[in-house]
Amino acid sequence: MTTYIIRRVLWGVVVLFIVSLIVFFSLRLIPGDPVQIWAGQQMGSGGSLSEEMLDQLRAKHGLDKPVPIQYLNWVKGIFQGDLGESIRYKDDVGTILKQRLPVTLVLGLVATVLSTVLGIFFGLVAAIRRGKWIDTLVTILSYVGLCIPVFLAAFILMYIFALKLRWLPFIGFELPWNNFGKSLRQGIMPIICLAVTPLAVTARQMRSSVLEVNNMDYVRTAWSKGLRERVVVTRHVLKNSLIPVITLLGISIGIIFGGSVIVEQVFNIPGMGRMLVDAIFQRDYVIIQGGTLVIAFMIVLVNLIVDISYGWFDPRIRYE
Amino acid sequence: MNDVSTTPAVETIAAPRVNEWKRFLRVFFQRKLVIVGVAVILIWVLTAIFAPLIAPYDPNLQNLKENLQPPSSEHWVGTDNMGRDVFSRLVYGTRTALYVGFGTVIVSAIIGMILGLLAGYLGGVVNAIIMRIMDALMGFPMLILALLLAAVLGGGLQNVIIALSIATIPGYTRLMCAETLSVRENEYIMAQRAIGSKSFRTMVRHVLPNAFQPLLVLITTMIGNVILAEAGLSFIGIGIQPPGAAWGSMASAGIRDLGTLPWLCFAPSLAIAVVVFAFNMVGDGLRDALDPKLRGTL
């Protein structure tokens, strides 16, 4: 078990290393260095900068060194908790992330819990009542959830609850520890939008997983022992059918992070997604690098936890 | 095939033949929603091909005097903020989705399959390197990876296709790698090698038919996913650049008028949802109809 965990952690580190390579070097393919781009934007807004000032800026950010050295410096910084400094905001990327990340994490975490719990519940109910109206309903809704773009969900909710009924605020998001009531009201629509697709994915997987487990000998044995439905379902069916669903957690987190880019745009929420999009439009490399690495890190971490927790859910799985 | 004598021998052992194609069609069209899906895809492709004949106006023709009109007999879905006919833009939007959907899937499937074959066939270090890179690519949410790549490459149809292709390669690579590994273990490959057949070609010839069915399902659902991702990119403003008619950017442009002219947002979003729904349906239908467990059944 320990060797398995160590090996799995090492794989995670390797994956993150490759991610950092991809992110860093792909951004260097854009013609012009960050300082030049920033200077160009300053020129556009009426400012003027001498070549010397640009060189000074380059030296300050280490951009005068060869790209591989820049990469090594960046990685060295990461290990010291320093993700670099945004040329544009003249602010530490770490500091910017500290403001942005909690917003996305709060919304994302609630959406993850919501989609996982509801997905498991609906999938289970649909499978147990196979062929009944509830099964048809869950199946249709999960098909719909899989195909609607995140922004369509946002439009529907906004149109009904913010514009017509005026129950919920249109845009913005405040962190719950600053103003809980406001945060809750502002959070409802974005969270639902984020949860729609993973909820559909989870419910579908859960339904087919339960149907499979239902055919197992031990379930028939449980029934023939005369156990009540509740016991068979919770103790035998639910526990065994959860395993493939747990695997989905990593995928769900990915969908939610991807969705947050759009949801934060629609609802004007100052989170990671907005930050990335703004950084891409402003060509702020340092923020793009830091942001994507943090997202990849969290996804790798979740997948790691999922893999390790397998053994707990299914003692039959042996780690070599 | 030079050796004719082996073929009849196999025939006599085989179970009574079921017409696989007939069985496939029967299972495939069993579900009504699959029929709906096929119909939607057909209509969509035909609309894209005949867009100039169907669209009543030039999709980029601006008429600021008549902007933000509600639906009328002249403008079936009204006009947008630049006075362009929304219905015509919706019709031309089918082309964007078609190019991106099929273009991306063709590029990424070919590259992904080659990488998967190489990884599975060569094994060892090559396998480790290719598969680790795929793991890393999968470490990103598809939309964020596409966002990053689109930022590097810039917007526009071609770059969106490249970005989405790279983002979707890992699925094909994993599938092909797994198929190749399982085929490589088979005795007939060893036998082929023993008689001196060029083994890579043998691999390809044996792996492709084996992988064909899961690949077909993957490709079908991928087209839907890719269209969804392109819509996301265009919605953010990083995908198809104006004035190109893309459903995603149409939806985001309409957001200011959501309260008064909701169809500006809903029409393009629904178009995306319907096409993606169709591909998911057909993908599911294919999965069921191609299920190897059903092979040989009536």
Provide the CATH number for the domain around residue B225: 1.10.3720.10
Range of the domain at B80: 34-296
Q: What is the mean pLDDT of residues B165-176?
A: 92
Query: For residues B55 and B242, what is the distance between their CA atoms, to the nearest angstrom?
Result: 19
B34–A contact, CB cutoff 8 A: no
User: By the 8 A CB rule, do B177 and A306 touch?
Assistant: no
Chain A residues within 8 A of B150 when measuring between CB atoms: 280
Query: For residues A157 and A152, what is the distance between their CA atoms, to the nearest angstrom?
Result: 9
Distance from CA of B9 to the nearest CA of A (A): 38
pLDDT at B3 over 80: no
Query: For residues B51 and A135, what is the distance between their CA atoms, to the nearest angstrom?
Result: 39
In terms of Cβ atoms closer than 10 Å to its own Cβ (0-12, 13-18, 19+), residue A169 is middle
DSSP 8-class letter at B167: H
Q: In the prediction, which pLDDT does B18 show? A: 65
Q: Give domain status of residue B6, yes or no.
A: no
Q: In the prediction, which pLDDT does A227 show? A: 86
User: By the 8 A CB rule, do B236 and B252 touch?
Assistant: yes
The tens digit of pLDDT for each residue in A282-303 reads 888 888 888 988 998 998 898 8
Of A41-45, A281-285, A310-314, the range with the lowest mean pLDDT is A41-45
Chain A residues within 8 A of B262 when measuring between CB atoms: 155, 159
> To the nearest whole percent, how much of chain A has pLDDT over 70?
94
Q: In the prediction, which pLDDT does B147 show? A: 85
Determine phi and psi for B80, rounding to 5 degrees.
Answer: -90, -170
- The secondary structure of B204-240, three-state, reads HHHHHHHHHHHHHHHHHHHHHHHHHHHHHHHHHCCCC
Q: Give domain status of residue B28, yes or no.
A: no
Determine phi and psi for A129, rounding to 5 degrees.
Answer: -100, 50
Q: What is the mean pLDDT of residues B25-53?
A: 89
Chain A residues within 8 A of B280 when measuring between CB atoms: 143, 146-147
Q: In the prediction, which pLDDT does A66 show? A: 82
Q: Give domain status of residue B242, yes or no.
A: yes
Q: Where do we find the tokens 């002219």?
A: B261
Q: Where do we find the tokens 């951004």?
A: A27
Which ipTM was obtained for this model? 0.86
Between these two residues, B38 and B55, which has the higher pLDDT value?
A: B38
Name the pLDDT band for B4 (thresholds 50, 70, 90): very low
Q: In the prediction, which pLDDT does B292 show? A: 67
Q: What is the mean pLDDT of residues A243-263?
A: 89
Query: For residues B11 and B1, what is the distance between their CA atoms, to the nearest angstrom?
Result: 16
* DSSP H stretches of helix in chain B: 6-13, 20-28, 32-49, 51-54, 86-122, 124-138, 142-153, 157-184, 187-194, 199-236, 247-253, 263-290
Q: Where do we find the tokens 């008619």?
A: B245
| Ramachandran category for residue A172: left, alpha or beta (phi over 0 → left; psi -120 to 50 → alpha) | left
Q: Give domain status of residue B51, yes or no.
A: yes
Q: In the prediction, which pLDDT does A319 show? A: 56
b/e burial code for range B260-289 (CB count within 10 A of at least 16 → b): ebbbbbbbbbbbbbbbbbbbbbbbbbbbbb
Q: Does B147 contact A158 at a Cβ distance shorter than 8 Å?
A: no
Q: What angle do CA A42, A44, A48 make, to 5 degrees?
A: 50
Distance from CA of B121 to the nearest CA of A (A): 22
Listed by start position, the domains of chain A span 2-79, 93-313
Q: What is the mean pLDDT of residues B242-255?
A: 86
pLDDT at B297 over 70: no
| Ramachandran category for residue B78: left, alpha or beta (phi over 0 → left; psi -120 to 50 → alpha) | left
* CA torsion angle A197 A201 A207 A212 (round to 10): 180
Chain B residues within 8 A of A15 when measuring between CB atoms: 132, 135-136, 139
Q: Taking a contact as any Cβ pair under 8 Å apart, which residues of chain A between 239 and 258 contact chain B?
A: 254-255, 257-258
> To the nearest whole percent, how much of chain B has pLDDT over 70?
91
pLDDT at A138 over 90: yes
* CA torsion angle B155 B160 B163 B165 (round to 10): -170
How crowded is residue A282: how many other Cβ atoms within 10 Å of its Cβ? 17
Write the residue in A151, A276, A296 that is nearest to B235 by C-beta: A151
Q: How far is CA B8 from CA A134, B3, B5, in A?
A: 52, 11, 6
Distance from CA of A156 to the nearest CA of B (A): 8
Which architecture does CATH list for A93-313?
Answer: Orthogonal Bundle (1.10)
B258–A contact, CB cutoff 8 A: yes
Q: What angle do CA B189, B191, B196 make, to 5 degrees?
A: 95
Chain B residues within 8 A of A285 when measuring between CB atoms: none
Chain A residues within 8 A of B281 when measuring between CB atoms: 143
The tens digit of pLDDT for each residue in B96-132 reads 999 999 999 999 999 999 999 889 888 789 988 998 8
Q: Where do we find the tokens 């990915």?
A: A254
Query: For residues B135 and A22, what is the distance between their CA atoms, to the nearest angstrom?
Result: 12
Of B35-39, B61-65, B143-147, B244-248, the range with the lowest mean pLDDT is B61-65
Q: In the prediction, which pLDDT does B138 show? A: 83
DSSP 8-class letter at B85: B
Q: Does A147 contact B235 at a Cβ distance shorter than 8 Å?
A: no
Distance from CA of B139 to the nearest CA of A (A): 5
Of A107-121, A191-205, A222-236, the range with the lowest mean pLDDT is A222-236
Between these two residues, B27 and B193, which has the higher pLDDT value?
A: B27
Q: pTM of the predicted model, to two decimals? A: 0.86
Q: How many domains does chain B have?
A: 1
A32–B contact, CB cutoff 8 A: no
Q: Give domain status of residue B9, yes or no.
A: no
Nearest residue of A to residue B129, measured between CA atoms: A18
Q: What is the mean pLDDT of residues A117-128?
A: 94
Amino acid at residue number A174: E
